[in-house]
């Protein structure tokens, strides 16, 4: 049986970071314009993370993109009432619950679903009733997969950052954990997504993960786009996923 095509979601947070470096005093880069180019390059979804500190994506971006984007929006957000209210108002196609710390440079690990189980289960139920699908950004842990299924998630997204940065035996160990977690997720009727730190090299390997249907990639695509343009960078990542 042929493996399902892996869908690419492009995270544009770092494009917004470039704008915010000037204190939001510039209208460039135009995120909606980038989204249209990403679509032309074969991207299937746009991922944005509205952080508590608003360091890159702003509330106005969420409103504008949810209303005008030609691609579905995957809104990454913390497990908080403030963020849930924003999601319910703007109705992205997906909400991806992620951990968040003010001092971190970027998301450093997966969400501990067990720790926030009652809150995330309630929020997932509320979002589901409004036809907003949910994914949880987790480490490749069997315990976290089980908790995600019990809380009612539609999908889990494996945090691949530690795998990307590790080498040798440690890399092989994490890969085995991802494979086992992906198999369990499929048994629990959860979609399998992955993201964080993925570049050309790691896309060639992540495509071998069982049951993988979606990856979300931001930093590398934005970096590659400085040379190629974002449409070509999107196409090139897709080529490595095939």
The pair phi, psi for residue 30, each rounded to 5°, is -80, 110
Active-site residue, from 56, 76, 159, 193: 76
Is position 225 within any domain? yes
C-beta of residue 86 within 8 angstroms of C-beta of residue 77: yes
**How confident is the model at residue 23, as a pLDDT?**
83
Whether the ω angle into residue 81 lies within 30 degrees of 0, i.e. cis, is no
**How confident is the model at residue 24, as a pLDDT?**
78
Please indicate whether residue 76 is annotated as part of the active site. yes
C-beta of residue 8 within 8 angstroms of C-beta of residue 241: yes
- Residue 117's CATH number: 3.20.20.70
Give whole-number Cα distances, 52 to 78, 119, 149, 166, in Å.
8, 18, 26, 29
**How confident is the model at residue 196, as a pLDDT?**
96
Query: Which stretch of DSSP H or E encloses residue 155?
Result: strand 155-159
Could you give the 3-state DSSP secondary structure of residue 66? helix
Could you give the 3-state DSSP secondary structure of residue 198? coil
Give the predicted TM-score (pTM) of the model: 0.94
Active-site residue, from 49, 162, 193, 202: 49
Please indicate whether residue 219 is annotated as part of the active site. no
C-beta of residue 160 within 8 angstroms of C-beta of residue 194: yes
- Expressed as residue numbers, the domain containing 72 is 7-241
Structure tokens at 153: 């998630």
C-beta of residue 44 within 8 angstroms of C-beta of residue 6: no
Tally Cβ neighbours within 10 Å of residue 136: 28
Q: Are strands 94-97 and 7-11 parallel, antiparallel or unpaired?
A: unpaired
DSSP string, 101-152: -TT-SS--S---TTTTHHHHHHHHHHHHHTT-EEEEEE-S-HHHHHHHHHHT
**How confident is the model at residue 3, as a pLDDT?**
56
Helix residue ranges, H only, 54-99: 59-68, 81-90
Is position 1 within any domain? no
Query: Which stretch of DSSP H or E encloses residue 15?
Result: helix 13-20
**How confident is the model at residue 147, as a pLDDT?**
98
Cα 29 to Cα 59: distance, rounded to the nearest angstrom: 16
**How confident is the model at residue 106, as a pLDDT?**
54
Cα 61 to Cα 16: distance, rounded to the nearest angstrom: 9
**How confident is the model at residue 27, as a pLDDT?**
87
**How confident is the model at residue 111, as a pLDDT?**
96
Is position 2 within any domain? no
Active-site residue, from 56, 162, 193, 196: 196
**How confident is the model at residue 102, as a pLDDT?**
55
**How confident is the model at residue 103, as a pLDDT?**
55
Count of the separate structural domains present in the chain: 1
Structure tokens at 242: 């095939």
Please indicate whether residue 196 is annotated as part of the active site. yes
pLDDT 10s per residue in the chain (242 long)? 445 789 999 999 999 999 999 887 888 999 999 999 999 999 999 999 999 999 999 999 999 999 999 999 999 999 999 999 999 999 999 999 999 865 555 556 899 999 999 999 999 999 999 999 999 999 999 999 999 999 999 999 999 999 999 999 999 999 999 999 999 999 999 999 999 999 999 999 999 999 999 999 999 999 999 999 999 999 999 999 99
């Amino acid at each position: 049986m042929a493996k399902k095509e892996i869908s690419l979601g492009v995270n544009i947070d770092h494009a917004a970071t470039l704008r915010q470096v000037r204190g939001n005093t510039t209208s460039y880069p135009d995120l909606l314009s980038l989204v249209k180019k990403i679509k032309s390059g074969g991207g299937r979804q746009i991922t944005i993370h509205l952080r508590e500190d608003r360091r890159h994506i702003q509330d106005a971006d969420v409103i504008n993109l949810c209303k005008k984007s030609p691609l579905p929006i995957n809104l990454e957000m913390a497990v908080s009432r403030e963020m849930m209210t924003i999601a319910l108002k703007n109705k992205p196609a997906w909400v991806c619950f992620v951990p968040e710390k003010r001092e971190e440079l970027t998301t450093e690990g997966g969400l501990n679903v067990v720790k926030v189980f009652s809150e995330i289960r309630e929020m997932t139920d509320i979002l589901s009733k409004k036809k907003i699908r949910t994914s949880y950004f987790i480490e490749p842990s069997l315990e976290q997969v089980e908790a995600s299924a019990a809380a009612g998630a539609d999908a889990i997204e494996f945090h691949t950052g530690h795998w990307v940065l590790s080498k040798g035996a440690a890399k092989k160990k994490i890969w085995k954990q991802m494979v086992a977690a992906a198999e369990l997720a499929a048994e629990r009727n959860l979609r399998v997504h992955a993201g964080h730190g993925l570049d050309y090299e790691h896309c060639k390997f992540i495509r071998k993960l069982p049951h993988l249907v979606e990856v979300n990639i931001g930093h590398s695509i934005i970096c590659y786009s400085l040379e190629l343009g974002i449409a070509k960078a999107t196409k090139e990542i897709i080529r490595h996923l095939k």
